[in-house]
């Protein structure tokens, strides 16, 4: 009997500021740096002094340490020639400490990267050769689903665009990785769902920049209508438990 797939640990961030979000349409890269399977992603920035950010780091740091330790063991199994060429495991940090671009002094902010592969080809098991199409589940501040695409995955004309500066909460899963060819290792923060608290769209300033509070958060139009039934290939069906947290 096949061994059950281990469930990845799931987490939820505090409110963070999105940077270069690609959450509505998949990013397929460029000619120079293609992403043939597509990717949804965002970087997210928080204050290092924020207790909620510190708590998130404290939750993830042991998993990151374990990922590095596991990579060290896998590195020992590589051929001697490969080990000599690589020199050792190249650890990718859990987060980036942001610096002022002029003074190079810490700004007091940290940056995380969250990503989800859009297309996943199953290579083993009874479903080998089939492809799963995934989308991040999007919610407004009231916890209502944001309908941004139709049943076939086409983005709707009136879909709200999520721009940098948007404030939101991210649900994600953490998984370790080690790439034998490069020696890179670390912890992947796998995006599953996003809740928009303060939307920046179309170059507009955020509500907070005008002095409005975030208590009521972003509440779009009525999303209850116009949504097609999920056909089983979307992210919503895969991550139902995580979405209940919003």
Of the candidates 185, 186, 155, 191, the residue with the CA atom closest to the CA atom of residue 173? 191
Give yes or no for residue 70 having a pLDDT over 50: yes
Asked if 176 and 157 count as a contact pair (C-beta separation under 8 A), the reply is no
Tens of pLDDT, residue by residue over 210-228, are 655 555 666 765 443 334 4
- pLDDT at residue 218 in the model: 67
Q: Are 133 and 116 in contact (CB under 8 A)?
A: no
List, in order, residues 6 or more apart from 79 with CB less than 8 Å away.
none
How big, in percent rounded to 5, are the helix, strand and coil portions of the chain?
A: 20, 35, 45
Q: Which among 92, 90, 61, 193 is positioned nearest to 136, based on CA atoms?
A: 193
Distance (Å, whole) CA 53 – CA 48: 6
Residue 209 has pLDDT above 50, yes or no: yes
Q: Count of residues for the chain?
A: 246
Instruction: State the DSSP string of 225-243.
Output: SSPPPP-S-SHHHHTHHHH
- Whose structure tokens read 């190079």? 104
- Residue 14 predicted with pLDDT over 60: yes
Going by pLDDT thresholds of 50, 70 and 90, the confidence category of residue 230 is: very low
> How large is the average pLDDT for residues 119-145?
92
Check residue 22 and report its DSSP letter.
E
**Per-residue pLDDT at 78 exceeds 50:** yes
pLDDT tens for 149-185 read: 998 899 999 999 999 999 999 999 999 999 999 999 9
CATH topology of domain 10-243: OB fold (Dihydrolipoamide Acetyltransferase, E2P) (2.40.50)
Q: Sorting pLDDT into bands at 50, 70 and 90, what band is 123?
A: confident
Q: Are β-strands 184-198 and 137-139 bridged in parallel, bridged antiparallel, or unpaired?
A: parallel
185-to-67, 71, 93, 114 alpha-carbon distances in Å:
7, 6, 9, 16
> By C-alpha distance, which of 46, 43, 240, 214 is closest to 142?
214
Q: Which stretches of 141-183 are assigned E, i.e. beta strand? A: 167-179
Domain boundaries, the chain: 10-243
Distance CA 85, CA 62 (A): 29
pLDDT band at 6 (very low <50, low <70, confident <90, very high): confident
């Amino acid at each position: 009997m096949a061994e059950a797939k281990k469930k990845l640990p799931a987490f939820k961030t505090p409110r963070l500021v999105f940077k270069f979000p690609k959450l509505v349409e998949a990013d397929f890269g460029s000619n120079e740096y293609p992403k043939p399977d597509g990717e949804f992603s965002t970087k997210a920035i928080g204050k290092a002094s924020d207790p909620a950010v510190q708590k998130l780091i404290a939750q993830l740091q042991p998993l990151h340490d374990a990922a590095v330790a596991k990579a060290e063991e896998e590195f020992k199994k590589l051929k001697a020639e490969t080990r000599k060429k690589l020199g050792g495991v190249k650890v990718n940090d859990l987060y980036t400490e942001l610096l002022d671009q002029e003074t190079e002094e810490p700004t007091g902010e940290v940056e995380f990267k969250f990503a989800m592969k859009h297309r996943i080809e199953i290579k083993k098991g009874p479903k080998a050769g089939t492809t799963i199409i995934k989308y991040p589940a999007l919610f407004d501040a009231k916890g209502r689903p944001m309908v941004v695409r139709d049943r076939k995955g086409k983005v709707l004309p009136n879909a709200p665009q999520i721009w940098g500066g948007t404030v939101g909460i991210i649900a994600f899963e953490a998984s370790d990785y080690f790439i034998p060819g490069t020696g890179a290792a670390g912890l992947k923060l796998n995006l599953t769902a996003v809740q928009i608290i303060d939307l920046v769209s179309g170059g507009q300033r955020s509500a907070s920049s005008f002095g409005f509070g975030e208590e009521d958060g972003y509440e779009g139009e009525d999303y209850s209508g116009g949504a097609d039934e999920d056909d089983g290939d979307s992210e919503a069906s895969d991550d139902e438990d995580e979405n209940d947290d919003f």
